[in-house]
Amino acid sequence: MVVGAEPVLAFKAYDGREVNLSQLKGKVVLVDFWATWCVPCVKAMPRVKAAYQKYHATGFEIIGISLDDEEAPLKKFLKEEQIEWPQHFDGKGQDNKFAVEFSLGRIPAVWLVDKKGKIRFIDPEEKLEENIQLLLKETP
């Protein structure tokens, strides 16, 4: 994916919720491709979680795409870390449906999607909060 692209992302989440990125237009969405075995992914999680807690009430959402190949570690991590946002999990690890579809070369991979549904930032870790604030101020 590239900046400016409008990804199609729809699935039934691990917890049963229906998720469709196109239905989240009007909100700022962080799409997080990650796995429990990925050290940089886990290391970034407190920062992502803090952003969710700070901005969720103002129109910020997160969609997790787990590249785990086993359910138990994911289930344990989500419970222990109290991760509230929906997760896609298909048990295929690096061959996850969306990782393959979007030709993901590595994780962590993070997209910050604007209110119009377009990718505005890819891997915005250094300026994550600043970029979320910028996108939240924009009109859809």
Q: How many CA atoms lie within 13 A of 139 on its CB side?
A: 0
What does the pLDDT read at residue 1?
67
Question: What average pLDDT does the segment 57-76 reach?
Answer: 97
Q: What is the pLDDT of residue 50?
A: 96
Task: Give dist(CA 132, CA 138) in Å, integer.
Answer: 10
Domains within the chain, CATH numbers bracketed: 10-137 (3.40.30.10)
Neighbours of 59 (CB within 10 A): 16
Identify the band that residue 125 occupies on the pLDDT scale cut at 50, 70 and 90: confident
Give the orientation angle of helix 128-137 with respect to helix 39-55, to 10 degrees.
Answer: 40
3-class state of residue 121 by DSSP: strand
pLDDT of amino acid 2: 84
pLDDT-derived band of residue 126, with 50, 70 and 90 as boundaries? Answer: confident
Q: Two tokens at 23?
A: 């239905």
Average pLDDT (28-57) is 96
For the chain, give the mean pLDDT: 95
User: For residues 51, 21, 59 and 114, what is the CA-based torsion angle, rounded to 10 degrees?
Assistant: 80
